[in-house]
A = this chain, B = another copy of it.
Amino acid sequence: MRGAILAAARSEFAARGLKGARVQAIAERAGCNKQLLYYYFGSKDGLYRAALESVYADIRAQEQGLELGGLPPADAMAALVGFSFDYLAAHPEFIGLLNHENALGAPHVRASRAVRETNSPLVDLIASTLRRGVADGLFRSGVDPVALYISIAGMAYFFFSNRRTLEAVFARDLSASGAVAGYRRHVVALAMAGLLRCGKGR
């Protein structure tokens, strides 16, 4: 039951934010009554924090499953870009929660030790892959791994996060599987071309 409440909370908070979400709606989705949420999580805010931590825990688990050390740097980097894209494609709730949390100024993420420690493994992975690629004479040097992570994630994140307005202003269906796949190729190509030294790897 606790798990069901948490899952319902993730959806509801992702869709409507902390204040916009309705305790009643979460209870209904979870198939229980409101008071049980208080029994388990103390308050709406407590439930929100738990939901937020649970999505960060999930992405951390997935990232730690990545085994790219054995791959050549270019393949490893392409896999990383693809993973970032695919994870966001598969987890719209993660995007919704982050957007609302950022709108609030991210106080809960700041306050949560568990969350703060989440993304480091991915940046480490990027840093080491970059180093290997530079050492091989394959990648441009001087690329900041954090900046690279942000730009790679941003290309995918913005596509999914702002899909509805983009569809409206460009009069394009960006939800069709073909459109998503096409954009994924574009992102991987742009990122790889942006990293590779000329004359190499193509």
Chain A interfacial positions (CB closer than 8 Å to B): 15-17, 19-20, 96, 98-103, 105-106, 109-110, 115-116, 118-120, 123, 140, 143-144, 146-148, 150-151, 153-159, 161-172, 182-183, 186-187, 189-195, 198-199, 202
A99, closest chain B residue (CB): B99
In the bound assembly, the distance between CA atoms of A26 and B169 in angstroms comes to 28
Residues on B with C-beta less than 8 A from A99 are 99, 102-103, 161-162
Most buried by B among A105, A151, A165, A183: A165
Residues on B with C-beta less than 8 A from A156 are 154
Least Cβ distance of A169 to chain B in Å? 4
- Majority-rule SS of A interface residues: helix
Is A147 a contact of B182 with CB atoms below 8 Å?
A: yes
In the bound assembly, the distance between CA atoms of A150 and B178 in angstroms comes to 16
> Provided the pairs A116-B171, A189-B194 are in contact, do residues A158 and B166 lie with their beta carbons within 8 angstroms?
no
Is A116 a contact of B193 with CB atoms below 8 Å?
A: no
Residues on B with C-beta less than 8 A from A191 are 190, 194
Residue in contact with A19 in the complex, picked from B19, B147, B150, B202, CB distance below 8 Å: B19
Residues on B with C-beta less than 8 A from A169 are 109, 115-116, 118-120
In the bound assembly, the distance between CA atoms of A197 and B184 in angstroms comes to 20
In the bound assembly, the distance between CA atoms of A180 and B177 in angstroms comes to 34
Residue in contact with A103 in the complex, picked from B15, B155, B170, CB distance below 8 Å: B15
Other 14 A-B pairs with CB < 8 A, given A15-B103, A109-B168: A96-B103, A99-B102, A115-B168, A115-B169, A116-B171, A120-B170, A146-B170, A146-B172, A147-B186, A150-B183, A154-B159, A189-B194, A190-B194, A193-B195
Least Cβ distance of A6 to chain B in Å? 20
Is A150 a contact of B166 with CB atoms below 8 Å?
A: yes
